[in-house]
A and B are shown apart, each in its own frame.
Chain A
Amino acid sequence: MASQIVSAFGAVIAGVFACALYYWLSDKLLQIVLPVRSGDVQRISTNLKTHAAIRPWLFLGPALLLMIVYLVYPVIATFILSFYDRSGGNFVGLANYWWAATDAQFRQSIFNNILWLAVVPAACTFFGLVIAVLTDRIWWGNIAKSLIFMPMAISFVGASVIWKFIYEYRGADGTQIGLLNAIVQFFGGDPQVWIAMPIWNNFFLMVILIWIQTGFAMVILSAALRGIPEETIEAAVIDGANGWQIFWKIMVPQIWGTIAVVWTTITILVLKVFDIVLTMTNGQWNTMVLANLMFDWMFRGGGDSGRSAVIALVIMAAVTPIMIWNIRQASEDRGGH
Chain B
Amino acid sequence: MNAAINLRRIGLPRLIVHFSVLVICILWLIPTIGILVTSLREPGQIASSGWWTAFSGAAETSAARLGEPSTARQDGPNYVISGSVFDAADAGPKGSVRAFGTKVAAPTEFAAGEAADLGDGETLTVNEDGTYIYSKNAPFTDKRGKRVYLSVAQPPSFTLDNYRTVLTSQGIGQAFINSLTVAIPATIIPILISAFAAYALSWMHFPGRAIIIAVVVGLIVVPLQMSLIPLLKMYNEIGAFFGIASRSYVGIWLAHAAFGMPLAIYLLRNYIAGLPKEVIESARVDGASDFEIFVRIVLPLSFPALASFSIFQFLWTWNDLLVAMVFLGTGKDQLVLTGALNALLGSMGGKWEILTASAFITIIVPIIVFFALQRYLVRGLLAGSVKGG
* A267 CB-CB contact with B under 8 Å: yes
Cβ contacts A81-121/B at 8 Å (1 or 0 each): 10000001000000000000000000000000000000000
A73 neighbours in B (Cβ, 8 Å):
230
Q: Is the CB of B230 within 8 A of A179?
A: no
Q: Is the CB of B218 within 8 A of A70?
A: no
Within 8 A of B (CB), among A118-171: 131, 134-135, 137-138, 141, 144, 146-158, 160-166, 168
* B9 CB-CB contact with A under 8 Å: no
What number of residue pairs across chains A and B have CB atoms under 8 A from each other? 364
Interface contacts beyond A155-B320, A323-B222, A327-B217: sample of 18 additional A-B pairs, CB < 8 Å, sorted by A: A1-B173, A55-B291, A59-B290, A62-B197, A71-B258, A71-B259, A78-B227, A131-B24, A148-B24, A149-B370, A155-B362, A157-B342, A166-B31, A182-B52, A219-B378, A275-B321, A313-B226, A336-B213
Q: Is the CB of A137 within 8 A of B14?
A: yes
Q: Is the CB of B34 within 8 A of A315?
A: no
Q: Is the CB of A71 within 8 A of B197?
A: no
Nearest A residue to B316 by beta-carbon distance? A155
Q: Chain B contact residues: over half helix, strand or loop, or mixed? A: helix
Residues A74 and B227 in contact in the complex (CB < 8 Å), given A67-B258, A157-B321, A269-B388:
yes
Q: Is the CB of B226 within 8 A of A70?
A: no
Which of B49, B180, B185, B193 contacts A62 (CB under 8 A)? B193
Which of B21, B28, B320, B388 contacts A268 (CB under 8 A)? B388
Q: Is the CB of B259 within 8 A of A153?
A: no
Which of A78, A147, A154, A298 contacts B226 (CB under 8 A)? A78
* A235 CB-CB contact with B under 8 Å: no
* B367 CB-CB contact with A under 8 Å: yes
Nearest B residue to A294 by beta-carbon distance? B225
* B273 CB-CB contact with A under 8 Å: yes
Q: Give the shortest distance, in Å, between B280 (CB) and chain A (any CB).
A: 8
Nearest B residue to A75 by beta-carbon distance? B226
Cα–Cα, bound, A64→B219 (Å): 12
* A27 CB-CB contact with B under 8 Å: yes
Stretch at the interface among B82-90, B137-145, B148-156, B379-387: B379-387
Residues A334 and B341 in contact in the complex (CB < 8 Å), given A11-B185, A152-B370:
no
Q: Is the CB of B197 within 8 A of A60?
A: yes
A219 neighbours in B (Cβ, 8 Å):
378, 381-382
Residues A20 and B386 in contact in the complex (CB < 8 Å), given A60-B212, A134-B20:
no
* A319 CB-CB contact with B under 8 Å: yes
Nearest B residue to A319 by beta-carbon distance? B221
* B119 CB-CB contact with A under 8 Å: no
Which of A24, A67, A69, A323 contacts B291 (CB under 8 A)? A24
Cα–Cα, bound, A7→B178 (Å): 11
Cα–Cα, bound, A271→B309 (Å): 23
Q: Is the CB of A147 within 8 A of B359?
A: no
Q: Give the shortest distance, in Å, between B222 (CB) and chain A (any CB).
A: 6
Which of A66, A262, A265, A335 contacts B202 (CB under 8 A)? A335
B215 neighbours in A (Cβ, 8 Å):
67, 72
Within 8 A of A (CB), among B13-44: 13-14, 17-18, 20-22, 24-25, 28-32, 34-35, 38
